[in-house]
Amino acid sequence: MSGPSEPTDDVAFEYMVLSRHHYLSPHGARTHENALDRSAYILLSRIRVQGPMSIGELSDAFGLDASTLNRQTAAMSRAGLVERIPDPEGGLARKFRITEEGDRRLDEDRAARVHALDLVMEDWPAEDIEAFAAFLRRFNTGIERLDGRPWPRP
């Protein structure tokens, strides 16, 4: 780039750099060998917040095709992370619910990510961490607004 950069140029650059870091994932932080893969972590997180979801609901939530989600949920089922249940509201489509093992593994991975963030931000004042979280939330909700797929927050 030549000349003065726009603030969004700086954001684009830092976002690119952030996306290359794997330190915050349990695999990158090397916290435990039984870490969830990225897709399982994200799907389990969504199901935990929203409750049991069908393939169609997952497809709407993530913008992924049913075949991709069938592969991901099948792998999660084989690993004992989710189970298929009848729709609690009486619908025809079966839904995926997190198992106790899925809850346990999700909690483990989340704790590992929080620990990695604690290490990265160990010299940050609490106010800076709170402000950073607020900016990230605002950034994410802006993306969700444009994408039309809001993420439910607890």
- 23-81, pLDDT tens digit by residue? 666 555 555 567 899 899 999 999 999 999 999 999 999 999 999 999 999 999 999 99
Helices 66-78 and 55-62, axial angle in degrees (round to 10): 120
Number of compact structural domains in the chain: 1
Does the residue 146 lie in any domain? Answer: no
Does the residue 126 lie in any domain? Answer: no
Residue 148 CB coordination number (10 Å) = 8
pLDDT digits (tens, 9 = 90+) for 100-115: 999 999 999 999 989 9
> What pLDDT does residue 29 have?
54
Those residues whose C-beta lies under 8 Å from the C-beta of residue 38, and which sit 6 or more positions away, are: 25
Instruction: Quote the pTM value.
Output: 0.85
Q: How confident is the model at residue 4 (pLDDT cuts 50, 70, 90)?
A: low
Does the residue 2 lie in any domain? Answer: no
Does the residue 94 lie in any domain? Answer: yes
Those residues whose C-beta lies under 8 Å from the C-beta of residue 66, and which sit 6 or more positions away, are: 55, 56, 59
pLDDT above 90 as % of the chain: 71
> What pLDDT does residue 87 have?
86
Look at the alpha carbons of 71, 62, 77, 92 in this order and tell me if their dihedral is positive or negative: negative
In whole numbers, what is the pLDDT of the chain averaged over residues? 90
Those residues whose C-beta lies under 8 Å from the C-beta of residue 34, and which sit 6 or more positions away, are: 105, 108
Average pLDDT for 4-13? 86
Residue 113, domain extent: 7-120
* The token pair that represents 25 in the structure block: 């994932």
Does the residue 107 lie in any domain? Answer: yes
Does the residue 34 lie in any domain? Answer: yes
> What pLDDT does residue 93 have?
86
CATH code for the domain in which residue 103 is found: 1.10.10.10
